[in-house]
A and B are shown apart, each in its own frame.
Chain A
Amino acid sequence: MGEHESRAASQTATFELRIREMVGAAERGDGAGVRACFTDDGVYHDVFYGAFQGDEIARLISDYFWRDARDFRWDIHDPVEAGGVGYARYVFSYLPTFEGAGEGRAMFEGVAICLMRGGLIQDYREIAREGAALAQMGFAPARIAKYLTKQNQELQGRAEAARHISER
């Protein structure tokens, strides 16, 4: 194993440990445990609930995740980190508890994308097929479309999307 591969393997091991700690804490409703996986200024960008920084991350878990659902299951697959960027594919599911949610579990897959600093998560983002969960929970197609439009507008507002829409 060369130096580059050895360093990547070591970074991956640290990232895997941290991301598994984070999902384990989320599964058991341990907001402080999730928050402890982040740097002091760390930011958690959730696809449904938005961005939470530092100690506010605990509130994301207690006031949003566990307000709207229970019995979370969050499996991490194939975590990889190199150069301070970590990726991990995941399968996520939960039992919605809010009024109007359909019966049964909601499930979707995604990829966590993390910037790491000092072995902790500095920035957590995700790209997911969360529309599947909305459909499973019985959201009306028009409401799902409205949500997706908002997501698309956010993407189109980024600098990295500029060359993709320049001829519109």
Chain B
Amino acid sequence: MSFANAIRAMAAAVERGDAQGVVACFTPDGLYHDLFYGSYRGGDIARLIDDYFYRDGRDFRWDMIDPVEADGIGYARYVFSYTPKAAGLEGKRAIFEGVAYCRMRDGKLLEYREVANVSMALVDMDFAPERVVELIRWQSTELRKRDETQRHL
């Protein structure tokens, strides 16, 4: 499967709540790194969808735009949105954009990562600015631990 087909199949499976369909887009040892919920491997990716995505949201819409693949690496810009289930957020719709960047093996996703401005969705849902900045700082801590950022510190 090409990257474009794999990433669109993954997004479609998420939209319909088909956790096994998401898992099927990955290699057996594939990793899904989610910005909100952390890292899930192999069969555990189903738990990310069932226990987290659909615990906290419904009516997911995920559009992959301009997917590009070369040398086993795939990128796709995306627009992602959902209706949050949390009390107090009735009538809200969370939306943000990001870029999925993946490593591929044998036509499946070996690793899914993303860069996204998720905090804009939190602000739009009226989260307190202090809480939003808390998330930003938490994500920044993760970035600072990587080898690739050491010369930037």
**Which residues on A are within 8 Å of B, measured CB to CB?**
5, 8-9, 11-12, 73, 75, 77-78, 80-83, 85-87, 89, 91-93, 105, 107-111, 113, 127-132, 134-136, 140-142, 144-145, 148-149, 151-152, 155-156, 160-161, 163-165, 167-168
Residue B39 is within 8 A (CB to CB) of chain A in the complex: no
Q: Could you count the A-B residue pairs with CB atoms below 8 Å apart for me: how many are there?
A: 163
- Given contacts A9-B70, A82-B68, A160-B63, whether A131 and B136 have CB atoms under 8 Å apart is yes
Dominant SS at the A interface? mixed
Interface size band for B: 35 or more
Asked if B77 CB lies within 8 Å of chain A CBs, one says yes
A161 and B132 contact, CB distance less than 8 A: no
Min CB–CB distance A142 → chain B (angstroms)? 5
B: residues with CB less than 8 A from A are 59, 61, 63, 65-66, 68-71, 73-75, 77, 79-81, 83, 91, 93, 95-99, 101, 115-117, 119-124, 128-130, 132-133, 136-137, 139-140, 143-144, 148-149, 151-153
A73-B152, A82-B68, A105-B152 as given contacts; A135 in contact with B99, CB under 8 Å: no
Question: Whole-angstrom distance between the alpha carbons of A164 and B122 in the complex?
Answer: 15
